[in-house]
Amino acid sequence: MAKLPVPFEQLTREFGPHLAYEPPGGWSGRGEPEKLVKTHCCFCGQGCGIQLKVRDNRVIGFEPWEEFPFNRGKLCPKGVKRYLQNNHPDRLLDPMKRVEGVGFVPITWDEAFETTAREIRRIQAEHGPNSVAVLSGVSLSNEKSYLMGKFARLGVKTAELDYNGRLCMVSAGAGNKKAFGVDRAAGAWTDIPLADVIMCAGTNVAECAPITTDYIWRSRDRGGKLIMIDPRVTPLARTCDLHLPVRPGTDSALFVAMLRILVEENLVDREFVENYTSGWADTEAAAMETSLVDAARITGVNLEDIVRAARMWGEAKSSFLLHARGIEQHTKGTENVLSCINLVLATGRIGRPGCGYGTITGQGNGQGGREHGHKCDQLPGNRDIENPEHRAYIAGVWGCDESEIPRKGHPAPVIMEMIHSGEIKALISICFNPLVSLPDSNFTREALSRLEHYTAIDFFLSETAQHADIVMAGSLHEEEEGTVTSGEARVNRIRAAVTPPGRAKCDTDIVLELGRRFGQGKYFDHFKTPEDIFNELRVASRFSTVSYYGMTYERLEKEHGIFWPCPDIGHPGHPSPVRRPQVPHRGREGALQSGAIPAKCGRTRRGVSNYPHHRPGGFSVSKRDSDKAHRRARRPMSRAVRGDPSGFGSGVRNQRQGLGSCGEPARIGNAPGESGDHDSPGYGLHPLSLGGKKIGQPPYDPRVRSDQRDAGVQKSHRPDPSSRSRRSRADYRRVSAKSRLPRENGRKIQELS
Ligand code: SF4
């Protein structure tokens, strides 16, 4: 019965999001801290070091941690407010159950565990083990990610497990694995300041990964050039050397055209591609079939600028490529990623100082969270769940029979479809807010309301958790020991600064107890601390491409993090996994493990022509992810950040005038300066935290089932009724008929108006 027990407004009054509050003791009377705890910011995948000030078991502030090498004490506007979560008035302090007409009422932990175990087992007895799904999140630590994979497969015994990275950078991961055989940045951030040219594709670095901006500026200070590829004039695009305002969804056409120019102008590093790559001839042939005039027409970028970009990139001595969700969250996200990696391979700018490639990780453990086995097709160590050798190895680590490990399950969006269709009848979720994160909030809401049982583990009552039958009050990063892995694949140690407030429990303890209540204590009883889980994770990742085996908590603290792979005790770790010529290559001895994959010139499904306005989904300087946590710190944060006064990102003026989103007529960014500091005509940012409503079927990358956000065509558009496209007119009628705002969105807009 996963329906709201009382109206949404009542739940919001009681559980938030409440926007403003003061830290314990007020802004000025907090007193001296009893201790400073060195840990890491969890608000994005940069993993900045921070010292938390602790007094009376409460986090009361922070100090910079200047010795930590990645950020040297610097923090962004999100980071300086992250400590406010620990004492936030919306924090869940008790386990609760849903009571129709009353809301959520506190219960004992025993009742919460017993109800969950009883309902899950009842449903599985009636409908089979896979009638229960587990949804997990990549803001969890590595230990929790690993534990969730083991818990779902051996505790719940379901194949239907997936994670919210599916809605984030899974296309980047797939592209990395295809091109390099490993899923991580192929270079450390310390190479960025040494690069002569930096190209950023689909990434609003200054707002979404502000500390990386510093690395880029260090390159520019010594004369480095910056190419920005983005439909919007983002803050870095305002001052870059060359801005390519590519139409949403046409990125690969741009990259393939650039590759053709590199070939034609003899800017390809022949020695490199012949000795260190495979598949180059096919890639080059595909590029040469591409018409540059067509590419310019498709992308909307002047041909002269495409040529300038290719020459700037091709003639440089060193270069670094960064990309993010702007090219990844598309129906052809994997192909976009591969086509821009091809530019790196064409010029041999990898595996040497000042050269490299990286994808800017989003969520707090976006990198580590996709390595340890809570993806539907993955076992720990980024192993393949269908590979017999991989299954046998993990069965050995887990002490189970190989046949006990379920086979491959379904990606999160498909799991939601299976819930909607009634195939899946129960859900356990942790740190995943699909009602906001998935592309179609109405569909997800309907699906959740059809569940027979839903248990949510979370620290705030998210929009999704409002539909739960049982809510288990969980923990924050600073309330548990563990590790996270940053976007450059540096494994960092996070420290427990305080214990969870009230009767809230550590997530790890909750999941371990659930494992016992499901009668599978033999697989979980040996975990007494998160370090025990980490030690098993190390063994589980051993002999894989993602080996953590040589790392210990002690080493991670002493060495300020270690880059994986770290295959042996005493191994220093690899800041770059592809330093040539040491890394073996598939096929050629002594060469890099890198394969060029031909990419086609084309555009994302549901391209641009039928929609006069585009609102690519994304994050702003004060918001990211489903924003369950950040939005609760919005007001104090927003005061500090000029240019994002409401947290809505660009397009704010029209939103506040009530012109609306989600199908209502909207006037967004039609003239420069009309709707925010960094708009481009016809484009505005749609913060992903607003949720969305579909126009037509939600589109996905067929390779990885990641959704299409950053083409910005499935949300918040006013389709042109005069369009000749039949599909467009049908979409327009459908949208017009349901043009009221979803409740959550309307609520947020009212609160801010
Ligand atoms: S850049 Fe990311 S990790 Fe660093 S302070 Fe900002 S939100 Fe935190």
pLDDT in tens, 456-507: 999 999 999 999 999 999 999 999 999 999 999 999 999 999 999 999 999 9
Per-residue tokens: 714: 């499935």
What is the distance between the alpha carbons of residues 4 and 468, in angstroms, rounded to a whole number?
8
Q: How far is the centre of ligand 1, averaged over its atoms, from the C-alpha of 645 (Å)?
A: 19
Query: Which residues have CB under 8 Å from 456's CB, separation 6+?
Result: 428, 429, 430, 462, 464, 465, 468, 470, 471, 472
Least trusted range by pLDDT, from 252-266, 270-284, 304-318, 666-680: 666-680
Which amino acid is present at 24?
P
Average pLDDT, the chain: 81
Q: How far is the centre of ligand 1, averaged over its atoms, from the C-alpha of 541 (Å)?
A: 27
**Per-residue pLDDT at 705:** 54
Higher pLDDT, 482 or 745: 482
Residue 53: pLDDT band with limits 50, 70, 90: very high
Higher pLDDT, 248 or 729: 248
501 C-beta neighbours (distance < 10 Å), count: 19
Our answer on whether the CB atom of 240 is closer than 6 Å to any ligand 1 atom is: no
What is the distance between the alpha carbons of residues 666 and 688, in angstroms, rounded to a whole number?
17
Q: Bridge-partner residues for 323, per DSSP?
A: 201, 359
**Per-residue pLDDT at 213:** 95
Q: How far is the centre of ligand 1, averaged over its atoms, from the C-alpha of 428 (Å)?
A: 29
Higher pLDDT, 79 or 451: 451
Residue 699: pLDDT band with limits 50, 70, 90: low
User: Which stretch of DSSP H or E encloses residue 379?
Assistant: strand 378-379
- High-pLDDT (> 70) share of the chain, %: 76
Query: Which residues have CB under 8 Å from 387's CB, separation 6+?
Result: none
| pLDDT tens digit sequence for 202-218 | 999 998 889 999 999 99
Our answer on whether the CB atom of 46 is closer than 6 Å to any ligand 1 atom is: yes
Q: Given the CA of residue 50, which atom of ligand 1 is nearest to it? A: 5
Whether ipTM tops 0.90, in short, is yes
What is the distance between the alpha carbons of residues 119 and 425, in angstroms, rounded to a whole number?
10
Residue 694: pLDDT band with limits 50, 70, 90: very low
The closest residue, in CA terms, to atom 8 on ligand 1 is 79
Per-residue tokens: 140: 């969890």
740 C-beta neighbours (distance < 10 Å), count: 11
Least trusted range by pLDDT, from 180-189, 368-377, 418-427, 738-747: 738-747
Q: Spell out a b/e string for 132-157, using b for 16 or more CB atoms within 10 Å of the CB, else e.
A: bbbbbbbbbbbbbbbbbbbbbbbbbb
Q: Which of 368, 366, 357 is nearest to 323 (CA)?
A: 357
Task: Name the residue with tokens 């310390």.
Answer: 190
Angle at alpha carbon of residue 734, lines to 733 and 738, rounded to 5°: 110
- Is the pLDDT at 84 greater than 70? The verdict is yes
| pLDDT tens digit sequence for 335-352 | 888 888 999 989 999 888
**Per-residue pLDDT at 546:** 92
Least trusted range by pLDDT, from 59-73, 214-228, 229-243, 738-752: 738-752
Cβ atoms of 609 and 249 closer than 8 Å: no
Q: Given the CA of residue 47, which atom of ligand 1 is nearest to it? A: 3
Least trusted range by pLDDT, from 474-488, 586-600, 629-643: 586-600
| pLDDT tens digit sequence for 529-570 | 999 999 999 999 999 989 999 999 999 999 999 999 999 998
- Is the pLDDT at 579 greater than 60? The verdict is no
Phi, psi of 559 (to 5 degrees): -100, 10
CA 537 to chain centre: 22
| Mean pLDDT, residues 145-160 | 98
Q: How far is the centre of ligand 1, averaged over its atoms, from the C-alpha of 79 (Å)?
A: 5
- Is the pLDDT at 41 greater than 90? The verdict is yes
| pLDDT tens digit sequence for 616-625 | 556 656 555 5
Q: Given the CA of residue 46, which atom of ligand 1 is nearest to it? A: 3
| pLDDT tens digit sequence for 467-476 | 999 999 999 9
Q: How far is the centre of ligand 1, averaged over its atoms, from the C-alpha of 211 (Å)?
A: 7
> Which strands make up the sheet holding 562-563, listed edge to edge?
482-485, 490-494, 562-563
Q: How far is the centre of ligand 1, averaged over its atoms, from the C-alpha of 146 (Å)?
A: 24
Q: Where are the alpha helices (DSSP H) in 247-291?
A: 251-264, 270-276, 280-288
Higher pLDDT, 687 or 677: 687
Cβ atoms of 302 and 269 closer than 8 Å: no
**Per-residue pLDDT at 636:** 40
Least trusted range by pLDDT, from 146-160, 161-175, 378-392, 600-614: 600-614
- Is the pLDDT at 746 greater than 50? The verdict is no
What is the distance between the alpha carbons of residues 97 and 115, in angstroms, rounded to a whole number?
9
Higher pLDDT, 575 or 426: 426
**Per-residue pLDDT at 249:** 82
CA within 13 Å, CB half, 546? 29
Q: How far is the centre of ligand 1, averaged over its atoms, from the C-alpha of 438 (Å)?
A: 24
727 C-beta neighbours (distance < 10 Å), count: 13
| Mean pLDDT, residues 662-666 | 39
Mutate which of 42, 44, 207 for ligand 1 pocket (most atoms within 8 A of beta carbon): 44
| Mean pLDDT, residues 141-158 | 98
- Is the pLDDT at 630 greater than 70? The verdict is no
- Is the pLDDT at 596 greater than 90? The verdict is no
CA 372 to chain centre: 15
| Mean pLDDT, residues 62-83 | 92
SS3 for 204-215, per residue?
CHHHHCHHHHHH
Task: Name the residue with tokens 């200070």.
Answer: 221
Domains of the chain: 8-85 (3.30.200.210), 96-168+366-563 (3.40.50.740), 181-359 (3.40.228.10), 612-753 (no CATH)
Least trusted range by pLDDT, from 165-174, 478-487, 695-704: 695-704
Our answer on whether the CB atom of 41 is closer than 6 Å to any ligand 1 atom is: yes
Mutate which of 75, 360, 625 for ligand 1 pocket (most atoms within 8 A of beta carbon): 75
**Per-residue pLDDT at 583:** 34
**Per-residue pLDDT at 325:** 85
What is the distance between the alpha carbons of residues 181 and 296, in angstroms, rounded to a whole number?
32
What is the distance between the alpha carbons of residues 351 and 275, in angstroms, rounded to a whole number?
13
**Per-residue pLDDT at 701:** 59
Q: Which of 8, 158, 128, 167 is nearest to 422 (CA)?
A: 128
| Mean pLDDT, residues 18-37 | 80
Least trusted range by pLDDT, from 56-65, 439-448, 508-517, 730-739: 730-739
| Mean pLDDT, residues 708-733 | 34
Which amino acid is present at 399?
G
Q: How far is the centre of ligand 1, averaged over its atoms, from the C-alpha of 214 (Å)?
A: 12
Residue 153: pLDDT band with limits 50, 70, 90: very high
| Mean pLDDT, residues 443-467 | 96
Query: Which residues have CB under 8 Å from 469's CB, separation 6+?
Result: 1, 2, 97, 98, 115, 119, 453, 454, 455
What is the distance between the alpha carbons of residues 267 and 313, in angstroms, rounded to a whole number?
9
